[in-house]
Amino acid sequence: MFPYAYLRQSSVPDLGAMAQRAGAKYLMLTHLIPPIGADQQYPFKVPGGPLTEADYRRAARDAGFAGNIIVGTELVSVRLPAK
């Protein structure tokens, strides 16, 4: 990915670590780049092949997030428990 575009995005490990430091119970990942199952982020090929929901969850866990991880997909709806 071009540096000017890549460096404008938050990485999943960064988000996982930040959510853990903040004491978040939930982390919802949306607007994923590259999208789940994509073999390229035009014009670049995804190294190692398409990513899965498990890949995105693993990246957040590896960064230390211990809460619930929701990987957003198209038309997903989420109901969080009341406080």
Q: What is the dihedral of CA 34, 80, 19, 40, to 10 degrees?
A: 0
Instruction: Answer whether residue 21 is part of any domain.
Output: yes
Instruction: Answer whether residue 57 is part of any domain.
Output: yes
Instruction: Answer whether residue 77 is part of any domain.
Output: no
Q: 70 φ, ψ to 5°? A: -115, 120
Residue range 48-71, pLDDT digits in tens:
999 999 999 999 999 999 999 999
Instruction: Answer whether residue 76 is part of any domain.
Output: no
Query: With 90 as the cut, is the pLDDT of residue 3 above it?
Result: no
Residue range 38-47, pLDDT digits in tens:
999 888 899 9
Instruction: Answer whether residue 66 is part of any domain.
Output: yes
Q: What's the domain count of the chain?
A: 1
In angstroms, the Cα distances linking 49 to 5, 9, 12, 34, 79 are: 20, 20, 17, 11, 32
Instruction: Answer whether residue 12 is part of any domain.
Output: yes
Please state, in angstroms and rounded to a whole number, the distance separating the CA atoms of residues 37 and 64.
Answer: 25
